[in-house]
Amino acid sequence: MKGNFPIDKWNGVQTPFYFYDMALLKKTLEAIKKETEQYGFCQHYAIKANANPRILQEIASYGFGADCVSGGEVQAALDAGFPADKIVFAGVGKADWEINLALKADIFCFNVESIPELHIINELAAAQNKTARVEFRVNPNVDAHTHAKITTGLSENKFGINLSQIAGVLKEAQSLANIEVVGLHFHIGSQITDMSAFKDLCIKANELQSDLEAQGFTFANMNFGGGLGIDYHHPNHINIPDFANYFAVFNQLVERREGQALHFELGRAVVGQCGSLISRVLYVKEGEVKKFAILDAGFTELIRPAMYDAYHRIENLSSNLAEQTYDVVGPICESSDVFGKDVPLNEVRRGDLIALRSAGAYGEVMSSMYNLRQLPKAYFSDSIE
């Protein structure tokens, strides 16, 4: 064992692979359950963060719902045991087959992002002789103060319906026979660590709700999306996000109407810290000015550093030698295939096991076969393999 890693079991195991600390996942799920239950909030796990079937089954067993963004995710949620009446389905571009699959399964609701989409859902629901429940995704124009590529709640983003257009859309929905409006939906971005962004969201949602009520619209559900960030710098010390503070913000600030349900769709905060990408060092290359630790994992297994300049803590699990500084890189034929520059690591030798931490969210699920590489396997702390 080194830390929570059973490295003695990994001799001869093919790398790279994902390793999930299931005890940590359970602790995280318990923390969410405790906070949401005390306020009667509904949590729908955002499947996009990690769709590994074992992880999904574990999360479903805690009674959470699921937030899906594709037909594939709706199917994966159903297969893992998430109840259909706790599944929500978002996304700006839902294809007809995806809408049909969700209608057939009788999911809780569609989070609708445009009028053309609303009309198609109405038509397809009519063809199945059903009424589709919908929430409208509102673009509240709130700055999430996060990476530009994961900000979604600004007017310039493709997501949601702008504040000025929402009343018109609600009127349009009233004229459609196979649509039932059940709420409003918001999501402002991801990896948000500044609570003031969520506070702004609550205030905007309150204003909007009062405004729309004055025009005769009421909502049984308000969905505030996901977005709570994790501490990528301290995965060993701060491995459970501050859910108490996060949910308390919404409990204090949202002007919740009698009988109204509040929904959340956390993804990263649920699974981020329980997963690590485990890789072996292939070569240590001494350059003129740099030393490179060349791993057998690349951006094909973890794309976040290349795509978002994301930081992941890197640890040498095999060495207790004095620290040296390395650029940690992968084998992919692209210069963006770098996990970290000037990373302090216990002296690295060929064959050492390297952990890329906090990779449970948007890690395995975003892996690709580029360069005709194999998709990584996953191992779990509580299974024998």
Residue numbers at the binding site for ligand LLP (CB under 6 A): 46, 48-49, 67, 90, 150, 152, 187, 190-191, 225-228, 265-269, 304, 308, 361-362
Nearer to ligand LLP, 184 or 353 (CB): 184
Compute the least distance from the CB of residue 126 to ligand LLP, in Å: 26
Compute the least distance from the CB of residue 8 to ligand LLP, in Å: 31
Distance CA 185, CA 138 (A): 6
Are 344 and 322 in contact, with CB atoms under 8 Å apart?
no
Nearer to ligand LLP, 10 or 198 (CB): 198
Beta pairing, strands 291-295 & 275-286: antiparallel
Nearer to ligand LLP, 51 or 294 (CB): 51
Q: In the chain, which ranges are continuous DSSP H helix?
A: 22-39, 53-60, 71-80, 96-105, 115-127, 166-174, 195-214, 243-253, 268-271, 304-308
Compute the least distance from the CB of residue 9 to ligand LLP, in Å: 29
Distance CA 18, CA 62 (A): 23
Helix and strand numbers (H, E) in the chain are 10, 17
Distance CA 344, CA 315 (A): 9
Are 224 and 192 in contact, with CB atoms under 8 Å apart?
no
Are 358 and 345 in contact, with CB atoms under 8 Å apart?
no
Nearer to ligand LLP, 140 or 227 (CB): 227
Nearer to ligand LLP, 20 or 362 (CB): 362
Distance CA 359, CA 343 (A): 17
Compute the least distance from the CB of residue 7 to ligand LLP, in Å: 27
Nearer to ligand LLP, 70 or 191 (CB): 191
Distance CA 339, CA 309 (A): 9
Instruction: Answer positive or negative: Cα dihedral of 122, 185, 238, 243.
Output: negative
Compute the least distance from the CB of residue 303 to ligand LLP, in Å: 8
Compute the least distance from the CB of residue 111 to ligand LLP, in Å: 7
Q: What are the backbone dihedrals phi and psi of residue 180, each rounded to the nearest 5 degrees, phi first? A: -125, 120
Nearer to ligand LLP, 243 or 380 (CB): 243
Residue nearest ligand LLP, Cβ-based: 226
**Strand pairing partners for 109?**
88
Compute the least distance from the CB of residue 272 to ligand LLP, in Å: 8
Nearer to ligand LLP, 95 or 127 (CB): 95
Compute the least distance from the CB of residue 197 to ligand LLP, in Å: 12
Distance CA 228, CA 191 (A): 6
Q: Tell me which residue of 2, 16, 60, 3 sits closest to 379, measured CA to CA.
A: 16
